[in-house]
């Protein structure tokens, strides 16, 4: 079934293809050295479907959100995803 992006008002509980989010290679932290993760925000609670491009798929959910910094290009928003197999990763919009 093709994925149809929902209206913005229903994004928090919609299934999100992981292709909309990309792995983060480095994380910028605030002045105290801590990244501010929150449990409310865009996509938090959403299911994620990860296409590994080899015929395998992984399921997970977005558990936390880190809002963007002052310069969205340097410090973009991030999402923490926990996969059903226990793996975790931080993603940004691709």
Report the predicted TM-score, pTM, of the whole model to 2 decimal places.
0.65
The strand order across the sheet containing 57-66 reads: 16-17, 47-51, 57-66, 78-83, 88-93, 21-23
Q: From 41, 36, 32, select the one nearest 8 (Cα to Cα).
A: 41
pLDDT above 80: residue 34: no
Domain range annotation of the chain:
13-26+35-93
DSSP annotation of 20: G
DSSP annotation of 6: P
Mean pLDDT value across residues 25-36: 57
Mean pLDDT value across residues 17-36: 58
Q: Are strands 16-17 and 47-51 parallel, antiparallel or unpaired?
A: parallel
C-alpha 73/C-alpha 61 separation (Å) is 25
């Amino acid at each position: 079934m093709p994925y149809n992006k929902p209206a913005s008002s229903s994004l928090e509980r919609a299934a999100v293809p992981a292709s909309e989010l990309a792995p983060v290679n480095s994380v910028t932290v605030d002045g105290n050295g801590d990244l501010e993760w929150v449990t409310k925000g865009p996509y938090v609670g959403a299911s994620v479907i990860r296409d590994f491009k080899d015929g395998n798929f992984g399921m997970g959910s977005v558990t936390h959100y880190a809002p963007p910094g002052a310069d969205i290009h340097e410090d973009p928003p991030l999402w923490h995803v926990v996969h059903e197999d226990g793996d975790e990763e931080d993603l940004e919009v691709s």
